[in-house]
Chain A
């Protein structure tokens, strides 16, 4: 790969984008103009809301006591309001001023209608005898002859409650409710105070103590805590959207304009082209994000300042600009994530034939990324090993820790977060390079979507083994069927579980794969790897499963530690399996059936098709991913993906499904036996303490056994590696391309 070519392409693309008015507008002009304009509009609306007068209808105002006064000169007295402004904004209409209630009218109905019709923002209703009851209550307070408790309880019960009518569906009515509630609460406190005075009791009876709050966070920490929740989301969402436009222009746009072919016949390699374009998209993604951040920051700080001036300190902290160190961490974390977003956008945009099509294709990426970015904003989500391994989410949580200066926590999980992000980046870049090497992607012609034509094409143009598309279709179809199978009734007992598992394995996994192999390929036997391997391969596969079992258990325990399975689910599963008549039926259900059905589908149809990609390890990885996701429960999926890689390797090296079935059967059988293992069942076995141990989380192997097993397993895998295996045409071609070593000087000669 030539770095100078990458640099040349980068510089050209940068210059090209900077000469594009649409790009400049989206990246620079839009954030600089949009946010100040939005901010001004927001302030206007906020100001309007704050100054909007509230119309209140008071029914039964004549029921109010004169002391303490609630309504004076047809208005609430300013001392009961938050401020003089609020007092002026509350416009009261008293029942006495307007005879809207007839003799027979129900005040409750009238109040509801008045609010619902929008005639008033709120209605306060004081029921009849409210004043009398309140005065009676107060008058009887000093009567010490009656036991105090009885008097008070009776008195309180007799005072009828005033009612506030409001409509939460209208903003004005909600604001009216808040304002009126505040006034009435103050008025009630005043009545309470007078009652205490009347009964010659100190005010401390009602408020025996005051709560003193001591927030130990320093100003900067509080600011950092607030910013660490807001900023990463804003910055990363803009990084993602900022990658969209250049990615579409550099891929779909170039295809549309015809310049991509010009570049493809130049000496620049596909990897160089992708890297040059990727760096361009990355730069624009980062620039968009930072410019938006700066513009939003300035506008936001200004607006918050104005709002705080109006309404006081709403957030409990003066929200100044984020601390400088926090901003530094943010920019540092932005680069790898922007690289990931850029590579994904570029790969997806390469699929599109036009800029318009590119916009459609990139929308799902946004929909996938949004939940990953919003997850860290939930209060209960903390940075741990489990969350650190989730792409994007882990990086956002790590960033939150760094911004809040929790360096010890951040340091603990920095490695897995960076590892996962770098891995995702590399995979995304690889995918983008593959897209640029794929003729059907680069030169795809517009075809009308016709289901009939497509189905006819699938059957008419069959190959010996499935195409990559057919393999992916099978994998996705199995996952969709699996998803809908979840809606079947939950098993209530062992019989239900047994039937459900058998139906799932046979009808939902094996049958679709078999049908697709028969209908979509010319040689179903070759597709499903139905051939005898060399005889030693089957016992070798069984031995491999046995030797890898301690490591597999260790992996399962590690996954369980990372993502603990809900105890309720564990208990339900234990209860169901506890009802099994004998272990043989369990083995049939958990080991034999999945070993046959799942192998036919995942190592048979799907892996055979995916091998047309030209990379056996990529085919193994993708088929294993399908196999893992199929297991449904995250804890099982992770372990199944790893096991799927081992079985996939056996399938490729032996060219037969039988060693795969043997491995799968052995692996699952050992898992069942291990779950049934109890301390008393191994008593009497010589040296069992040396080999196994029992802890709270169950049975596990001693480490020398795990180590020895893994070593033998590696030797067995080496043996499998040396078996001659049949490559697909695409794998042969790729190998030829990978091994060509023609000196560059010959080319120039």
Chain B
């Protein structure tokens, strides 16, 4: 479903100069699977997900979603995905219903089936109270529900969640994780990025721990823990990152 091979993204800015945000990473995620991208802030998770959703172009490597290449077939890739991120806000001056309907129509869904799909979504996500509420009047949790409905309105085979629980209260976060789990059960391929290890432990079938653009460990949860002889994912996460930072410091000193 999602095949990422040697994917690289580099930028240049004044402070850091040319730097590699994502450094030749590869992974595969299949249908009915939740793939967790774990990493601290600045690890490169959002960059990977923006490339997969065709908002950014890769500098090297290849990524395909449902067989479509993100670089050469971006329009087709966008039809395969639903993207929920902390950066994908809702429109302040549109109601919840209007917003989801707008995106549904952009996907070219027929009016009648769109209405039915929206009714189901609004019921499933318990957001009927948001039908006539303007975005500016919604709480963070309400906005996130609308974002999820917007991402699912065209029933995409791939759904990407980029730190989707950030800023949500416990109840809403729990409901969101439940939704993600249900989507997996429907056979969708989910990419779930987070820096909260408990969420990954609870949800993900496979995980990749990212730091400074590299994947430090990848596999099923048990594979990753066993290969590093650890029992706690959070502990492993700290170890891997500390080790990588130490190696990086040594390399910098020897280069200097």
Contacts and interface: CB of A to CB of B under 8 A. Distances in A.
Interface stretch (A357-365, A413-421, A510-518, A732-740): A732-740
Given A453-B15, A747-B79, A439 B53 contact: no
B161 interface: no
Interface in B78-111: 78-81, 83, 85, 87-94, 102-103, 105-108
A746 B89 contact: no
Contacts of A259: 88-91
Nearest to A748: B79
Contacts of A12: 91, 94, 102
A720 to B, nearest CB: 29
A261 B105 contact: no
Interface in A236-284: 257-259, 261-262, 264-269
Interface stretch (B69-77, B197-205, B248-256): B69-77
Contacts of A19: 93
Interface in B1-31: 12-15, 17-18
A439 B10 CA distance: 12
Contact of A261 (B13, B55, B71, B150): B55
Given A257-B92, A267-B107, A445-B13, A439 B57 contact: yes
Given A16-B94, A740-B73, A266 B15 contact: no
B88 A258 contact: yes
B15 A265 contact: no
A268 B106 contact: yes
A25 to B, nearest CB: 15
Contact of A262 (B79, B81, B90, B92): B90
B13 A443 contact: no
A746 B91 contact: no
Contacts of B103: 266
A8 interface: yes
A447 interface: yes
B84 to A, nearest CB: 10
B177 interface: no
Main secondary structure of the interface of B (DSSP, over half): loop
A267 B94 CA distance: 19
A453 B79 contact: no
Contacts of B147: 262
Interface residues of B, number: 40
B78 A265 contact: yes
Nearest to B85: A261
Contact of B76 (A261, A265, A746): A746
Contacts, number: 98
Contact of A267 (B12, B75, B90): B75
B54 interface: yes
B88 A267 contact: no
Contacts of A48: none
B108 A16 contact: no
B56 A257 contact: no
A447 B14 contact: yes
Nearest to A11: B102
Interface in A309-354: none
Given A257-B92, A258-B89, A267 B78 contact: yes
Nearest to A2: B108
A265 B81 contact: yes
A264 B55 contact: yes
A266 B101 CA distance: 13
B225 to A, nearest CB: 33
Contact of B15 (A20, A447, A733): A447
Contacts of A104: none
Contacts of B79: 267, 747-748
A460 interface: yes
A746 B64 CA distance: 14
A266 B91 CA distance: 14
A155 B237 CA distance: 113
A5 interface: yes
A337 to B, nearest CB: 29
A3 B221 CA distance: 47
Contacts of B85: 261
B211 to A, nearest CB: 21
Contacts of B88: 258-259, 261-262, 265
A450 B14 contact: yes
Contacts of B75: 267, 269, 747
A18 B228 CA distance: 58
B90 to A, nearest CB: 7
Contact of A258 (B18, B56, B80, B87): B87
Nearest to A457: B14
Contacts of B72: 736-737, 740
Contacts of A747: 68, 73, 75-76, 79-80
Contacts of A460: 17
**Interface core residue of A12, A15, A457, A736 (most chain B CB under 10 Å):** A12
A76 to B, nearest CB: 66
B8 to A, nearest CB: 13
Contacts of B87: 258, 261
B145 to A, nearest CB: 14
Contacts of A737: 72
Given A258-B89, A259-B90, A439-B57, A266 B106 contact: yes
Contact of B17 (A16, A262, A445, A457): A457
B69 to A, nearest CB: 9
A454 interface: yes
Nearest to A743: B76
A461 interface: yes
A12 B103 CA distance: 10
A261 B92 CA distance: 15
B72 to A, nearest CB: 5
A5 B57 CA distance: 23
Contact of B12 (A265, A457, A733): A457
A457 B12 CA distance: 9
Nearest to A739: B72
B83 A265 contact: yes
A408 interface: no
Given A5-B106, A268-B106, A740-B72, A461 B78 contact: no
Contacts of B68: 742, 746-747
Given A740-B72, A748-B79, A16 B91 contact: yes
**Interface core residue of B56, B71, B87, B150 (most chain A CB under 10 Å):** B87
A276 B250 CA distance: 53
A264 B15 CA distance: 28
Interface in A427-461: 439, 442-443, 445, 447, 450, 453-454, 457, 460-461
Nearest to B52: A265
A442 to B, nearest CB: 8
B42 to A, nearest CB: 12
B247 to A, nearest CB: 23
Given A258-B87, A262-B89, A267 B17 contact: no
B78 to A, nearest CB: 5
A8 B15 contact: no
B228 to A, nearest CB: 34
Contacts of B54: 265
Given A8-B106, A742-B68, A266 B14 contact: no
B205 to A, nearest CB: 24
Contacts of B89: 257-259, 261-262
Contacts of A261: 55, 85, 87-89
Interface string A706-749: 00000000000000000000000000010011001010101110
A740 B69 CA distance: 11
A210 B73 CA distance: 84
5 contacts: A19-B93, A457-B13, A742-B73, A747-B80, A748-B79
User: What 7 pairs between A and B have smallest CB-CB spacing?
Assistant: A258-B89, A747-B76, A19-B93, A262-B88, A461-B18, A265-B83, A461-B17
